[in-house]
Amino acid sequence: MSGSIFGKNISVSTWGESHGKALGCVLDGFPAGLDLNEEDIQKFLDRRKPGTSSATTSRKEDDLVEILSGVFDGKTTGTPISLMVKNTSQKSSDYSEIAKYYRPGHADYGFDQKYGFRDYRGGGRSSGRETIGRVAAGALASKLLGKMGIEVIAYTKAIGSVEIDPKVTDYNARLSTPTAMPDIEADKKAMDLIESARQKNDSLGGVIECRIKGVPAGIGEPVFDKLDARLSQAIMSIGAVKAIEIGDGVKVSTYYGSENNDAFEAVGSKISKKTNHSGGILGGMSDGSEIVLRAYIKPTPSIASTQETINQDGENITINIKGRHDPVVVPRAVVVVESMCAVTLLDLMISNMASRADSIISFYKNH
């Protein structure tokens, strides 16, 4: 299967299936010398693991990470870093029926048409558990970015019709609420809405917002590898994402140019902008202001309600999907969005190191 590798300078290859023995990733090109242990990665994986609240699937997985290679004496070695998480709570029997039909909203039909065969246990590679490898890689990228004063913060902006107060700025609260919302009141309302959907054998979608602070101007390539283009590819590659916005997003189509343009200003020796409609990216490159993007997540397609579909013989049938599924995937997807943004940004920042002759000369003269 092609398409399982992301990145140029730092490549991330994810591997494994939802009901296989294990999942993980291999990072190639990650710089040597970064302090790293399992706990650095585990705290990210704990944010996406199942069974943590009534807002997630009841499947219980500790998702304990093992570093198999690329780290020695607590530091990255510059060689490929292999990370693994074992599956321990598979119930493949829950999925025996779906081998014979195509679930609405899932990749079942596409897999059969593409390969003539599919791993029907929990969706195989199209399962949300594939994101374990992405999050593990994101933990490393986030730690290295943090050393440069760059912070990547994602949180739940909305679930269904419930949206956080835009005045909320204490984003750390997202780490303690079951919805990953930084707004306690909105979190309570969202949990009530989730329970209501669950009682109706239904599910919900929502919006994840990500803010990246401390990015210097000039990151991103001006044509095909634009920062916004690469971020869009990264976010849209997450299974449940159906749309992405950067800055004011689709609203800019209703603005006048005079409303949309962000005025630059000099504050002492620093250049900044009076507004940030662009979301921190102009001409495919960072402009030095906060990068803001939003990912729109579809409702979980696996629901217990009766649904119409077809079987492999082309017959119309009705189904009731069994198994353990999230009533909303948004809270667990927050750290996935955060991780993909971190990996993308770090990859482009490494490219940027070679964009100026004086930077290369200075680096090698000093060595």
Instruction: Quickly tell me which residue has 């590898």 as its tokens.
Output: 225
Look over the chain and give the mean of its residue pLDDT values, rounded to a whole number. 92
What was the pLDDT predicted at 91? 61
Structure confidence at residue 60 as a pLDDT band (50, 70, 90): low
| Closest CA relative to residue 4, chosen from 20, 24, 21, 22 | 24
For residue 243, what are its two tokens?
Answer: 């749309």
Tally: H helices and E strands in the chain? 8, 18
Structure confidence at residue 326 as a pLDDT band (50, 70, 90): confident
d(CA 20, CA 3): 19
Helix (H) or strand (E) holding 264: strand 264-267
* 231 within 8 A of 341, measured Cβ to Cβ: yes
pLDDT tens by residue, 258-279 = 999 999 999 998 999 999 999 9
What was the pLDDT predicted at 58? 59
Structure confidence at residue 93 as a pLDDT band (50, 70, 90): low
pLDDT tens by residue, 173-211 = 999 999 999 999 999 999 999 999 999 999 999 999 999
| CB neighbourhood size of 85 (10 A) | 25
| Closest CA relative to residue 206, chosen from 332, 323, 102 | 332
Residue 90 confidence (pLDDT) above 70: no
d(CA 32, CA 80): 10
pLDDT tens by residue, 306-324 = 899 999 889 999 988 876 6
* 126 within 8 A of 336, measured Cβ to Cβ: no
Strand intervals (E) in 64-164 = 65-69, 71-72, 75-76, 81-86, 151-159, 162-163
For residue 300, what are its two tokens?
Answer: 């979980």
Roughly how many angstroms between the first and final C-alpha of the chain, as a whole number?
42
pLDDT tens by residue, 135-175 = 999 999 999 999 999 999 999 999 999 999 999 889 999 99
Phi, psi of 170 (to 5 degrees): -85, 80
What pairs with residue 64 in β-bridges? none
Please give the model's pTM, rounded to 2 decimal places.
0.93
Structure confidence at residue 97 as a pLDDT band (50, 70, 90): confident
